[in-house]
Chains A and B, each alone.
Chain A
Amino acid sequence: MSLGSATLGILGKKIGMTQIFSNDGNVVPVTVVQAGPCRVLQVKMATAAEHPEGHRTASTNLGKKRGRQNRPRAADGYYAVQLGFDDKPARVSSKAELGAAKKAGLEAGKRFVREFRLAAAPTQKPGDEVTVALLGSTSHVDVTGTTKGRGWAGTIKRWSFSRQPTSHGNSLNHRTGGGLGRQHSISSGVPRGKRMAGHYGVEKVTVQRLEVVKIDEARNLVYLRGAVPGHNNGYLVLRKTVKNDRAVDIKPGLVVKNAAQKAVAGKAAKK
């Protein structure tokens, strides 16, 4: 992964899909995502000296007999910010989570915790809040989520195979996967990676370049044009897109979400 484009993203939750009308009356299919508020749980630095708590030593528990020992804080070796989203009651937080939460000034753990690798030393400190305002200057985002589980699925659903004829003498082979390939004379066995039936769904998927239609800072909502992986209430990671993030793409009359984009849209219209 190249760290050149690595920027801080935000964690969120899929609320659901609906349709809204743009200013000129066109229907825009949107996914409503609750993005944040997230808490910075931990900040990772390439060298120990850069760390805001660099002067402190980290304590290590070496076991019952050898006891606790203090040793110099080790460098993380890379820059990153760890965000937590969605409160978890203290009674279901593990001791490890409670300890980590305490360092960020929180009472209890978070349900969804993810780390964002950065190219340069992060300015955030543990305990800082990250809200949807972060996406204010972003016109498109990449959204990572976990797809809906489909259980054990056949080749038609899982790999988009075609089905076979329902009649014309065909019997018992309507949705089967067909032959497995290879001729006896060349070699025996099934080719590696042959697409067959099996478990489908519940996988990590990223949808690239979804347009940010609207940001509602009061309710921590962001409206994205198009669909997002997973079921409602599923957790998501939103990042500035790795593809072209050009605001000029806004079609005239579409909902313009902030002043910066308005200016760009205005320029495009003048041309």
Chain B
Amino acid sequence: MNILRQIELEHMKPAIPDFGIGDSVDVHYLIKEGDKERVQLFSGTVISFQGSGTRRSATIRRLVAGEGVERTFPLHSPRVADIAVKERGIVRRAKLYYLREREGKATRLDPNLGKHQYPRAGKGSGLSKGDAAPAQ
């Protein structure tokens, strides 16, 4: 097995929450304030995934006071504590950049009742059939 992939597997989280493009999620992000750590929530729509392996990241978009805010989270970062899915959405493309031109009600997506397939967070994990599970 490719050494580099093995190394990436060791530095990846064993599992990341299953969510996909168009889902509404809450990202639990650890923030350091002096000596204390607290969890900050960032809620929004998943509009894009980038990268593979340890570099896999997701861009989340939300509207704050009418202004669009996007944040990109490295999914395997120890600071991303959890990603909770609030609602799944039906989408027909891998990147929802068209939402950037929309405001208000136009940004709503149809709820996905489970049949629809779309790119998921776990894709591009670098794992292929026959690869050993990461040694932890």
Q: Tell me which residues across on chain A come within 8 A of B3, comparing CB atoms.
A: 15, 32, 34, 219, 221
- Determine how close the nearest CB of chain A comes to the CB of B32; give it in whole angstroms: 7
Residue of A nearest to B3 (CB): A15
- Contacts of B11 on A, CB cut-off 8 Å? 18, 20-21
Contact bitstring A1-45, B, C-beta under 8 A = 1, else 0: 000000000000001101111011101000010100000000000
Chain B residues with CB under 8 A of A15: 3-4
**B4 engages A20 (CB within 8 Å):** no
Measured between beta carbons, the chain B residues less than 8 angstroms from A34 are: 3
Are A18 and B4 in contact, with the CB atoms below 8 A? yes
Residue of A nearest to B8 (CB): A18
Q: How far is the CA of A15 from the CA of B5 in the complex (A)?
A: 11
- Chain B residues with Cβ below 8 Å from A18 are 4, 7-8, 11, 53-55
Task: Report whether B4 and A25 are in contact in the complex, using a CB–CB cutoff of 8 Å.
Answer: no
- The size class of the interface chain A forms with chain B is 10 to 19
Considering the chains assembled together, what is the distance between the CA atoms of A20 and B7 in angstroms? 9
Tell me which residues from 59 to 85 in chain B have a Cβ below 8 Å from any Cβ of chain A: 74, 76-79
Interface SS majority for chain A: strand
The answer to whether B4 touches A16, judged by C-beta atoms less than 8 angstroms apart, is yes
- Chain B residue with Cβ nearest A34: B3
Interface centre among A16, A21, A221 (most CB of B within 10 A): A21
Q: Are A21 and B7 in contact (CB under 8 A)?
A: no
Instruction: Tell me if B30 counts as interface (CB < 8 A to partner A).
Output: yes
Chain B residues numbered 1-58 whose CB sits less than 8 Å from any CB in chain A:
3-4, 7-8, 11, 30, 32, 53-55
Q: Min CB distance, B83 to chain A, in Å? A: 15
Name the distance in Å between B122's Cβ and chain A's nearest Cβ.
18
A19-B54, A20-B54 known; A32 vs B7 contact (CB < 8 Å): yes
Point out the residues of chain A lying under 8 angstroms from B77, CB to CB.
Answer: 21, 25, 27
Query: Contact flags (1/0) for A100-126 with B, using CB distance below 8 Å?
Result: 000000000000000000000000000
Q: Which residues of B contact A27 (CB under 8 A)?
A: 74, 77
Contacts of A32 in B (CB 8 A): 3-4, 7
Complex-state Cα separation, A24 to B7, whole angstroms: 19
- Known interface pairs A32-B4, A32-B7, A221-B3; A25-B79 also in contact (CB < 8 Å): yes
Q: How far, in whole Å, are A24 and B35 apart by their CA atoms in the complex?
A: 12
Smallest CB separation, A221 vs chain B (Å): 7
| A25 interface neighbour in B8, B30, B54, Cβ under 8 Å | B30
Give chain B's interface residues, CB within 8 Å of chain A.
Answer: 3-4, 7-8, 11, 30, 32, 53-55, 74, 76-79
Q: 19 more A-B contacts (CB under 8 A) besides A20-B7, A25-B30?
A: A16-B4, A18-B4, A18-B7, A18-B8, A18-B53, A18-B54, A18-B55, A21-B11, A21-B54, A21-B76, A21-B78, A24-B32, A25-B78, A25-B79, A27-B77, A32-B3, A32-B4, A34-B3, A221-B7
Residues of A within 8 A of B (CB): 15-16, 18-21, 23-25, 27, 32, 34, 219, 221
User: Which 6 A-B pairs give the minimum distances between C-beta atoms?
Assistant: A25-B79, A16-B4, A20-B11, A25-B78, A25-B77, A19-B54
28 A–B contacts from the bound complex (CB under 8 Å): A18-B4, A18-B7, A18-B8, A18-B11, A18-B53, A18-B54, A18-B55, A19-B54, A19-B55, A20-B7, A20-B11, A21-B74, A21-B76, A21-B78, A23-B78, A24-B32, A24-B78, A25-B30, A25-B77, A25-B78, A25-B79, A27-B74, A32-B3, A32-B7, A34-B3, A219-B3, A221-B3, A221-B7
